Structure 1
Amino acid sequence: MTAAKRDTYTPDTLLSVAVQVFIERGYDGTSMEHLSRAAGISKSSIYHHVSGKEELLRRAVSRALDGLFAILEEPPAREGRAADRLEHVVRRMVEVLITELPYVTLLLRVRGNTDTERWALERRRDFDHQVAELLKAAAADGDVRGDIEVRLATRLVFGMVNSIVEWYRPDSRGADAHEVAEAVSRLVFEGLRRQQT
């Protein structure tokens, strides 16, 4: 290995490589050997910066989760009518998903086989619960349709948003994060909001 190659290596580039390998091979199917080959560095170089692949997984899913939880702290997610707050949260979820696409993709694929995966699933459930509570509050305010059960509506919204990881590719000629967020918001909220008569 050349010194130049070693000089370009950073923990962030290692994390980026690890996420791609985890997505391609699955976390359980990835060894430290796979990671060192993909990064073009020795296993000992990896261990110089992290304790192992589970630490890389935790850093990766933390990045996705931190981005999602930060949405709930934004003023439009905390102030105003529940339906407006919910619409902001859904729009921003799409934007975070696209901005952090590999990290959110990995988060959505964890299965709970390790302590880190179980921790990530628990945090993800907490986020989902907070969004579901917003939907319940919007229903209680009479701002969203009452003829669709709240849990079903929540699952459908999350299903639409989470499915973006399966088809969206930033290098394809297509919509950017803002355009996708606007489209999802229109589809969800023009169908979900109670029609005024």
Structure 2
Amino acid sequence: MTAGARPARRGRPGHAREDVIRAGVELFNEQGYDATSVSDLTGRLGLTKSALYHHVDSKEQILQIALEDALGGLEQALADALQQPSAAERLQTIIRGAVRVLTDRQPQVTLLLRLRGNSEIETAALARRRRFDRTVTALMREAQSEGLVRSDLDAGVATRLIFGMINSVVEWYRPDGPVDPDLLREEILRVALGGLAART
């Protein structure tokens, strides 16, 4: 549980707390977090304000929960990657893991990628994202030192290029669409590492 977050509440019969979070994230992605009001949320859900506040304290709490879901998933994928024995396996694991998080938690990651840093919650989330990026860049440097990735590339630029491709998934991937998420992970991995592979 993040600092300041409260224990999950049960919610009123007929209205699941998860539905409130989901509707909030949908609205934030559709019209922007700052432009979304509590009235927008109650209108989307068909709830009164008092009923909404039975589930969550505020729209800020919805944002915090959604961002924690996205960042927590990415940070866990990175932790899994760091447990691998070689630079090659670490890099492959974080690429696969990041794509998995994006396909499994697409609305939450979309929200993360669109943050502007206009509040303390957003600023804290962006700081965590920057730490994630720095650690992945370090993994890229390790892969270069082991000869997996071309040494003539800047590690930071290479990392941004890979994650630019991965992050674009949120714009077109659909869970009910024709693209298999497992196959997508492997195809992105092949394209990313194939283009960066050291020439022998």
**TM-score exceeds 0.5:** yes
1:31 maps to 2:37: yes
Structure 2 residue identity aligned to 1:193: A
Of residues 189, 193, 197, the one that matches 1:193 is 197
Of residues 158, 161, 178, the one that matches 1:153 is 158
Structure 2 residue identity aligned to 1:176: D
SS in 1 for 2:148: coil
In structure 2, C-alpha distance between the alignment counterparts of 1:124 and 1:21, rounded to whole Å: 22
Mapped contact 2:20–2:55 kept (Cα < 8 A): no
Which has the higher mean CA deviation after the structures are superposed, 39-48 or 180-189? 39-48
Mapped contact 2:148–2:198 kept (Cα < 8 A): yes
1:117 maps to 2:122: yes
Of residues 134, 138, 143, the one that matches 1:138 is 143
Structure 2 residue identity aligned to 1:33: S
Same amino acid, percent of matched pairs: 42
In structure 1, C-alpha distance between the alignment counterparts of 2:103 and 2:187, rounded to whole Å: 14
Q: 1:62 matched to which residue of 2?
A: 68
Q: 2:92 matched to which residue of 1?
A: 87
Mapped contact 1:32–1:53 kept (Cα < 8 A): yes
Cα-to-partner distance string for 1:55-92 (whole Å, 9 max, x where unaligned): 11000010001111111222x54221112211111011
Of residues 177, 180, 183, the one that matches 2:181 is 177
Mapped contact 2:27–2:36 kept (Cα < 8 A): yes
In structure 2, C-alpha distance between the alignment counterparts of 1:70 and 1:151, rounded to whole Å: 21
More helix by percentage: 1
Q: 2:107 matched to which residue of 1?
A: 102
Runs of 5+ unmatched residues, structure 2: 1-11
TM-score by length of 1: 0.92
The two structures, once aligned, show a CA RMSD in angstroms of 1.2
Mapped contact 1:83–1:135 kept (Cα < 8 A): no
Runs of 4+ aligned structure 1 residues displaced above 2 Å come to none
1:49 shift after superposition? 2.4
In structure 2, C-alpha distance between the alignment counterparts of 1:38 and 1:189, rounded to whole Å: 43
1:128 shift after superposition? 1.1
In structure 2, C-alpha distance between the alignment counterparts of 1:71 and 1:27, rounded to whole Å: 26
Mapped contact 1:18–1:56 kept (Cα < 8 A): yes
Runs of 5+ unmatched residues, structure 1: 1-5
1:177 shift after superposition? 1.3
Q: Which gives a bigger RCO, structure 1 or 2 (Cα 8 Å, sep 6+)?
A: 1
Structure 2 residue identity aligned to 1:39: L
